Amino acid sequence: MLRWVRLTLASMLLTCMLGLFQPTYADGIYRFTSCWQNSSINMTGTGFASAVDKGGPMTEWAGAPATVKIVRGKPVCTYMDPKQMASLFTNSAAGGVNKFSEKFNGGGKVVAQDSMMFSFIAPKGTTIKKDATTLFDVNNNNAPVQTKLLSNLAEVKSDPIITFTNTFQVSETLDDVEAFINNSEDPLNAFINFVPDGTAVAVTSSIGCAVGDPIAPGQTCVFSFDLPPNTRNWAFEAFADGGSLFPIFDLVATDIPEPPSVILLGLGLLGLLINWRKIARRA
């Protein structure tokens, strides 16, 4: 009888342990945030449109006013109102979309030379079309407004391994790369102006992509970092510049799901099996 019980427990444990050693990283859904500038001379943006280049779809998307600050002598694109709700536009679709066009809320606008932050939630491997992502003016028959990308459109290759490629025609200087775990806010809520505030962890960079390195046009950088046990979420930021007042900003972040119940069951069965072995020895 005891041998039968032990065999049954061992069989159930093996089934559960097959799930135990699966990666406990994110489930493949990420927040991507980039900075976009109204680079026109005198036009005003009162709407924003974008489309997926590859991957997708986008399930949430939002826009918020941005500003350029000088940090350690370098220009940095950041939210005008950190830790607030995205105010220019917010929207979502249960099944996701591959393109959208949004009018700004409540008379919101991005005037000439000002910037905005664009965030969206999408699966791993998603990138957007630069030429289809633009401000427009609803007060001028939706005329497109000259829009400049101030990001490298970071891409998740595997979790957490992030790449970005210098898509500009000039070299950029990598000013800082940062990764944070266990942030206080949910990064997968695109409607908040998410700013990482968790515990910093070390980032490993590919050759030629250390802080201070010049990144040539077309050069791809790869960044990775380790996730300690019980990590709830993570966020990665890259700051660069292409010269004075030419800030470059990218953010990728995600939640890490709770371990599935089958894993917890497996751990419980492991404890029972150990107890049965102890009882058998005493007998």
Q: Which tens digit of pLDDT belongs to each residue from 94-107?
A: 999 999 999 999 99
Only one residue has tokens 């927040």, namely 31
Instruction: Give 19's pLDDT tier (boundaries 50, 70, 90).
Output: very low
Within 8 A by CB and 6+ apart from 85, the residues are 191, 192, 193
The residue-averaged pLDDT of 51-57 equals 95
In this predicted model, which residue has the larger pLDDT, 236 or 283?
236
Interstrand relation of 155-158 and 161-165 (parallel, antiparallel or unpaired):
antiparallel
For residue 251, list its beta bridge partners: 33, 237
Q: What is the pLDDT of residue 267?
A: 42
The residue-averaged pLDDT of 137-142 equals 96
Alpha-carbon distance 88 to 124, whole Å?
Answer: 26
Q: What is the pLDDT of residue 273?
A: 46
Helix axes 261-282, 2-20, angle to 10 degrees: 150
Q: What is the pLDDT of residue 242?
A: 86
**Taking Cα atoms as reference points, which of 276, 249, 272, 210 lies closest to residue 37?**
249
Q: What is the mean pLDDT of the chain?
A: 85
Rg (CA), the chain: 23
Kindly write down the DSSP assignment for every residue of 200-257, as one continuous string: EE--EE-TT-STT-EE-TT-EEEEE----TT--EEEEEEEEESSTT-EEEEEEEEE-P
The residue-averaged pLDDT of 146-175 equals 91
Whether this model's pTM surpasses 0.85: no
Instruction: Give 84's pLDDT tier (boundaries 50, 70, 90).
Output: confident
Least confident of 69-83, 189-203, 257-271: 257-271
Least confident of 43-57, 154-168, 193-207, 268-282: 268-282
What are the extents of the domains in the chain?
A: 6-20+27-256+264-279
**∠ CA 151-197-213, rounded to 5°:** 40
Identity of the highest mean pLDDT range in 31-45, 64-78, 249-263? 31-45
Q: What is the pLDDT of residue 142?
A: 96
**Taking Cα atoms as reference points, which of 180, 183, 175, 174 lies closest to residue 160?**
180
Interstrand relation of 214-215 and 172-181 (parallel, antiparallel or unpaired):
antiparallel
Q: Examine the pLDDT at 171 and tell me if it is beyond 60.
A: yes
Query: Which H or E element spans position 32?
Result: strand 29-38
Q: Examine the pLDDT at 75 and tell me if it is beyond 80.
A: yes
Q: What is the pLDDT of residue 257?
A: 81
- 162 neighbors 236 (Cβ within 8 angstroms): yes
Alpha-carbon distance 119 to 140, whole Å?
Answer: 25
